[in-house]
Structure 1
């Protein structure tokens, strides 16, 4: 074969390219094509993952809302409002609450499952389901706690437990059954914890609670909360004191405003971000009791502050 001078020059250049460790132009083009295709596939895959994650988050949030229905109503003369915050990005946490009208008066539940995430959320759902099942058919509040303990026992692992507080409202008083949960605060002249005389273990740890009865009249409020409020810690590890700042927040004119103020108080104390799930329920009797001193309001700072504050129009759902 005879090579022209031009072909010899080109052949020599290619030979020199290969001998010096270079890459041919066709290989460069191929590499670029592979990078473009691979990058496009990676972007497409990332978009698909983001879409799936967004869908999962939406499903998780819908499931949460079905279990933890926001409270904003008046039931048998008692106003209720709720607030829930989870540290999980998908809104699934270990705190729970619910409200049920019953033949025995409005009944409310608040609780805290050991742990966080989907497993804790599943146990929350089981506990709320057991409450909804038994709230209207179990006359004694202590028996309702036993019903919850029996119903969720099969869902508990060896180290699992659930703290719960059950409340039942009657004219001039609230009846409580506490299974290892933080004591609620009665908001009047001060923020007063309604601590049980004999503490009980949480559900799952052989609870033996007793019925507790406490005065709760018109012009007073009852704050139910999880330890995301009482154990919110600052940079030094100091827990949020349930002092007059909490009382002032709980004396806002409208119940949702109270809960927003309490959330802001806990978040500020924790340095801007809560480290634990948080559930709050504010309860307010609105019907005067027929007899006795239980419903007296002349010395109630909550009633006084509401009278001194211009009142906006009442919301149709009663959550004020």
Structure 2
């Protein structure tokens, strides 16, 4: 048994090394093909031409703009090899073709090595700069999208976030605050993806944290968010937002262009507003919506990464019994993992849009005077101080 496990481990390591080097090998071959293709095209289309180091550096320079230093170095090796072997090949095919002297070949190789070294250095600096951007983006994401407290004011919460951006940072946003009016939750979606959308998302979350405890009416809180972030929005920018406030036996909602939440009970029921409102930045005029939400029921808040996940035929994920079954698992984090798996499987194994999920579950009928009080986790209790 131990020998079999050892063989499996060795095979797994070999497979991992092969998978790690496969992209580099592909880029190496592509770099050689680009350089050789350019040389061959020039030879076939131009009557009098000469193989110059500048032509041979096309492949390394192009690859250095997209790939790392290893791939760029591979392209440089290709260029040097072509510089050495091409005159020999021409002399075999065409006896009358002029041959470069050994000194000229050495000079061209030296130029290629120097130029290729500059390309490798540029690729290394670009990769290091991108790695630093990734670290900064991840720190920003962690500061804005904090894990939600497990319970606030008698309501259980769990959150999940996935971004399709290469930096792991997107336009979906969420937050939770304990307030004198009950736990308040924000979920939203900024138009677009990547770091630019994340900046607007951070501004929206910051405005929510400033106003959640100081604004009694939920509609006024939405208006304050719109006023606060309007100066940060471009001509085509907007933010869909859903605010939820939990009081004993019900949830109060203000929806500004966001997908309607699902009340999970005997069935999955969307709590759509009677009159749709525009998103933030487009003149929202939302209304307060009240809905029953008792112990034993759950409320799923989500972004369109769930509802608009599409299969190969372009069909969106139906919010039907499969969603309800996933949302009824015993533990809230299990529910969100199951919903993520459901959306990913429907989309063919890869999501095309950012996704944020929040599951809310009333667990005890607290009075407004309790409001979560001393039972709330310190991180949430201190947020509104």
Q: Which residue pairs with 1:23 in the alignment? A: 100
1:208 aligns with 2:285: yes
Deviation at 1:280, TM superposition (A): 0.6
Aligned partner of 1:148 in structure 2 is: 225
Q: Deviations over 1:67-117 (max 9, x none)?
A: 111224211111111111122111221211111111111100011112222
Which residue of structure 2 lines up, in the alignment, with residue 35 of structure 1? 112
- Other-structure match for 2:303: 226
Question: What is the rounded CA distance, in whole Å, between the counterparts of 2:179 and 2:257 in structure 1?
Answer: 24
Q: Is the 8 A contact 1:172 1:289 kept in 2?
A: no
TM-score, with length taken from structure 1 = 0.81
2:154–2:366 Cα contact (<8 Å) kept:
no
Task: Choose between structure 1 and 2: higher helix proportion.
Answer: 2
Distance 2:284 2:137 in 1: 31
Please list, as runs of the form range in 1=range in 2, the aligned pairs for 1:144-223 lying within 5 A after superposition.
Answer: 144-223=221-300
Q: CA offsets, 1:223-249, max 9 Å, x none? A: 000111111111111111000000011
Measured in 2, the distance between the counterparts of 1:112 and 1:42 equals 40
Please list every run of 5 or more consecutive structure 1 residues that lacks an aligned counterpart in the other structure. 1-16, 291-316
Deviations 1:9-42 (A, max 9, x none): xxxxxxxx9x973222222222223333333332
CA RMSD between the two structures: 1.9
Aligned to 2:187: 110
Partner SS, residue 189 of structure 1: coil
1:119 has 2:217 as partner: no
Following TM superposition, where does structure 1 have runs of at least 4 consecutive aligned residues deviating by more than 4 angstroms? none
Number of matched residues?
A: 274
Structure 2 equivalent of residue 71 of structure 1: 148
Larger RCO of the pair (alpha carbons < 8 Å, separation 6+): 1
Q: Assess, with a 3 A threshold, how the Cα gap between structure 1 residues 184 and 35 changes in structure 2: closer, same or farther.
A: same
Aligned to 1:56: 133
Question: Within 2, Cα distance between the matches of 1:169 and 1:229?
Answer: 23
Contact 2:303–2:356 (CA under 8 A) maintained in structure 1:
yes
Cα separation, partners in 2 of 1:37 and 1:159, compared to 1, 3 Å: closer
Q: How does the TM-score come out when normalised to structure 2? A: 0.68
- Find the aligned partners of 2:328 and 2:278 in 1 and give their Cα distance: 32
3-state DSSP of counterpart to 1:106: strand
Q: Which aligned pairs between 1:280-295 and structure 2 lie closer than 5 A?
A: 280-288=357-365
In 2, Cα distance between equivalents of 1:233 and 1:101:
36
C-alpha contact (below 8 Å) 2:211/2:221 kept by paired residues: yes
Distance in 2 (alpha carbons) for counterparts of 1:168 and 1:162:
19
State the 1:49 CA deviation. Answer: 1.4
Of the candidates 150, 162, 170, which is equivalent to residue 93 of structure 1? 170
